Amino acid sequence: MNALILATDNVNVAQNVAFGIIAAVMIFAALSVVTTKNVVHAALWLVMVLAGVAAQYVLAAAEFVAVSQVLVYIGAVMVLFLFGIMLTRAQIGKETGLNNKGWALGIPVALVLFGLLAWVIVDAFGDDVLPDRGPAPTVMLSDQFLSIYLLPFIAISFVLLAAAIGAIVLARKD
Amino acid sequence: MLALDPILEGPLLWTPLFIIIGKVLFIFVVGLVATMFMVWYERKVVSGMQNRIGPNKAGPFGMLQTLADGIKSFFKEDLLPTRADRIVFRLAPFLAFVPAFLLWAVIPLGGDFSNGNDGTVTWFGHVTRVQLADPPVGILWVLAMSSIGVYGIMLAGWSSGSKYPLLGSVRASAQMISYEAALGLSLAAVLLSSGTLSTAGIVAGQNSLVDWNVISTGIVPFVIFLIAVTAELNRPPFDLVEAEQELVGGFNTEYSGIRFALFFLSEFMNVVTMSAIMVTLFLGGPQPLFDIPVIPGALEGTIWFLVKLFAFLYLFVWLRATLPRLRYDQLMDLGWKVLIPISLGWFLLLAALREFSPDGDAAESLRVVVISFVVAVIATGLFAAALKVSARNRAAANQPADNTGVTV
Amino acid sequence: MSQYLPIVVLFILAVLFGVLSFAASRLLAPRRPSIAKEAPYECGIVPSREPPERFPVSFYIVAMLFIMFDIEIIFLYPYAVSHTALGTYGFLAILAFSVVFFATFVYEVARGGLDWGPLQRGRTFTVDAAMVSPERTMTSTIRRVGTDGRLPAPGTEEAA
């Protein structure tokens, strides 16, 4: 019994159950991001969504990507978000006027985006089974981005350069 | 596969499950006891250094003082300030201490690493490691947890709805993320020599004293890591977060009772876990320096681990008793303009050495070092020029903008 | 994946510990809130200024720079772990990446993105007028909290 539930070698029951739970939590958190009346709470719900993504990566055996997700998105990007919110409008409590008149327009846009992404993913992978990873996925990762994806990798450094220049230009105008 | 805990391979049966639950409970208790001990130890050592007696009433040598304080905090009124954000205010202590607990999971606390053994032990007929879990990305787990720990402090300060906590938490989070960059870069140098992200693998790679990463990476990453960890922990001399003279108590000013106790707990637990991480990364974790006779290998690992851990705990207390607090601009300058460039440069130097002189051939190594030195001089020149430009701009901006104002 | 099972168990245990601590404290601790206790801590001084509306922009810049460094670090790790397998080519790629990155960093420093400490700008007295006004006396700036919310000291009841 125990062996059946917890075995992850070939039976994917536990994995699927975990996927479902995490996905449900993520959807709830995502809805809360847009419905909550407090900007900081919205940011925290977003953190929850991003953490859910990281958990899904772990389930898919992409641990390094999961950790990158936590380090970059939760540890850096969301900290910047929260800095931005906390330091400019530090009021606590419910806020009004967070929605503007066009908010209803967001719903069809979100649905279309979801449909598009779902279609792309199903079209690309369909019923593919997750491949069994070799002994060292991290090695594979570096092998990939330093060979096939070298150009995007180097391009990233220039994107970062552009971002830094942008940050300075925006920030120094006080 | 070295990087995985063998007990978790294959189908889980009752015995391994009990071993896991036993390990979890054990780690949990160890975490609490170690933290309580650390609080007492810090107070006792500091009082010794300051020629005082320190806690001496509760239990032998006052060792139960922390326990008494902890129990007391349960009986203290737990205030919720009127201007606080009630949900986040309650959530923040969890965000601080849960990551602190989870850090224990990847630390190798012992095991038989002597004579090149791989550190596994056999319990009830099952081969396992003396560490809770050994995920393939173990050491990054540490970084991930410490980046989540930032949230506890940041949100505690913001949700209090009071100005000193807010100031303290903004300072703290900026400081923590700054030094996390230096921490991450100096960690890269360790990974270069260990070739794995698993903590057990990193320990297994440090077989003899010369293989200890503190030596094989050339001490610089170790020093940077130590400084960065001290800042990451908000310990003196980097404790601007709770600079009493300016900020009352820092981010936890509005916290009282058990909520404050949990922040306190996580703070001291982080000291212990981060010391353990440094032992793992640089001093070979449970790797023995020499074989202790009589004691079996598995226990020996734990003894060595504790000896090394104590060295760091003492060092942290010593730093606190010795060094005065930095100013905030000095703190940021040290982190960004000194530690980060040096750790990046050192990483590239080590990578070049390993690339172009893999056997440690003297002539080849010398060539790499000379070239690296030239590159470093150019880079330093560039950096110095940048500093000069920024200083000049700043001096220009320092001229009073309008003459109507009185310079205060 | 099952490597993470113990971590999940530890996580649950840690959360449980926190929840139980709060519950125990709720049962054991007294609850005597008063206005003075729940007001923001100000050392007994009546607050004359709200916390600043905007913080120095340097904090944002630090956070933005940190994102860049995080990305750089995330790319360094896979290289560091598998550098032997990648060879000279990998080293050159990582070197090129680091050089561009270092240039970015130098630019940031040169533009004063990492300067801290206050600029000594001219300040007008009107801003600080409220702080030096004769209205600010001992009675107006210190909060008298009285003894509300406190237990009467033993022996005071007869006196009162």
- Sorted by where each starts, the structural domains of chain C and their CATH numbers stand as 39-116+134-148 (1.20.58)
Contacting residues of A for C87, CB less than 8 Å apart: none
Question: Which token pair is B204?
Answer: 């297994």
Q: Which residues of chain C have a CB within 8 Å of the CB of A150?
A: 93
Cβ of C18 within 8 Å of Cβ of B94? The answer is yes
- C143 to chain B, any CB pair closer than 8 A? The answer is no
ipTM of model: 0.83
Chain B residue with CA closest to A2: the answer is B13
Tell me the residues of chain C between 77 and 106 that have a Cβ less than 8 Å away from chain A: 77-79, 81-82, 85-86, 89-90, 93-94, 96-97, 100-101, 103-105
Interface contact flag, B137 A6, Cβ < 8 Å: no
Residues B376 and B347 sit within 8 Å (Cβ to Cβ): no
What pTM value is reported for the model?
0.87
Q: Residue C8: which residues within 8 A CB-CB, separation 6 or more?
A: none
Does A21 contact chain C (CB < 8 Å)?
no
Cβ neighbour number for residue C79 with a 10 Å cutoff: 25
In this prediction, residue A131 has a pLDDT band, given cuts at 50, 70 and 90, of low
Strand ranges for B44-163 from DSSP E: 120-123, 126-129
Closest CA to C72 of C47, C18, C39, C108: C108
- Chain B hits for A71, CB-CB cut-off 8 Å, are 140, 143-144, 147
The token pair that represents A34 in the structure block: 């847009």
Asked whether the predicted pLDDT for residue B126 surpasses 80, the reply is no
3-state secondary structure of A147: coil
Q: Which tokens belong to C34?
A: 């008063």
Place of tokens 């700043």: B394
The answer to whether residue B180 scores a pLDDT higher than 80 is yes
How far C50 CA sits from the closest chain A CA (Å)? 11
Nearest by Cα to B397 from C122, C108, C57? C122
d(CA B367, CA B382): 23
Cβ distance A8 to C1 less than 8 Å, yes or no, reads: yes
**Digit-coded pLDDT (tens) for B316-330:** 999 988 988 888 888
Q: Residue C106 carries which DSSP code?
A: H
Q: Which residues contact B9 (CB under 8 A, 6 or more apart)?
A: C2
Q: What is the pLDDT of residues B371-385, one digit of tens each?
A: 889 989 999 999 999
Identity of the highest mean pLDDT range in A40-54, B6-20, C126-140: A40-54
Crossing angle of helices C83-110 and B340-356, in 10° steps, is 150
Token readout for B381 is 């020149």
Strands B126-129 and B120-123, sheet pairing? antiparallel
Q: How far apart are CA B246 and CA B239, in angstroms?
A: 12
B273-294: average pLDDT: 86
Residues C68/A160, Cβ–Cβ less than 8 Å: yes
Higher-confidence residue of A10 and B351: namely B351
In this predicted structure, what is the pLDDT of residue A9? 47
- Taking CA–CA distances from B91, the nearest residue in chain A reads A44
pLDDT bucket at A5, cuts 50 / 70 / 90: very low
Residue C5 and residue B135: Cα distance in Å, rounded?
10
Radius of gyration of chain C (CA): 29
How far is C-alpha C123 from the geometric centre of its chain's CA atoms?
28
Instruction: Indicate yes or no: CB of C74 within 8 angstroms of CB of A71.
Output: yes
- Per-residue model confidence (pLDDT) at position B2: 36
Token couple for C45: 């001084």
Lowest mean pLDDT among A158-172, B260-274, B389-403: B389-403
Which residues, other chains included, contact B120 with Cβ-Cβ below 8 Å and sequence gap of 6+? B6, B111, B112, B127, B128, B129
**Among A154, A162, A167, residue whose Cα is nearest residue A84:** A167
Nearest to C76 by CA among B240, B187, B334, B64: B187
The Cα-based distances of B67 to A30, B12, B59, B77, C85 in angstroms read 42, 37, 10, 18, 52
In the predicted model, what is the mean pLDDT of residues A119-147?
71
CA distance B280 to A40: 37
For residues C90 and A142, is the Cβ–Cβ distance under 8 A? yes
Q: Domain coordinates of chain B in residue numbers?
A: 6-326, 342-385
What residues pair up with B120 in beta bridges, in sequence order? Answer: B129
Structure-model confidence comparison of residues B155 and B16, the more confident one = B155
Percent above pLDDT 90 for chain B: 21
Please, which chains are in contact with B (at least 3 CB pairs closer than 8 A)?
A, C
- Quick count: other Cβ atoms within 10 Å of Cβ A52? 21
Residue B30, number of CB atoms within 10 A of its CB: 14
pLDDT tens per residue across all 160 residues of chain C: 567 788 888 899 999 999 998 888 888 888 887 777 777 777 666 666 665 556 677 788 888 888 888 888 888 888 888 887 777 888 888 888 888 888 888 988 888 778 776 665 555 556 566 666 777 777 777 766 665 555 555 555 444 4
Report the candidate in B211, B207, B274, B265 with the shortest Cα–Cα distance to residue B238.
B274
CATH architecture group of domain A2-95+102-133: Up-down Bundle (1.20)
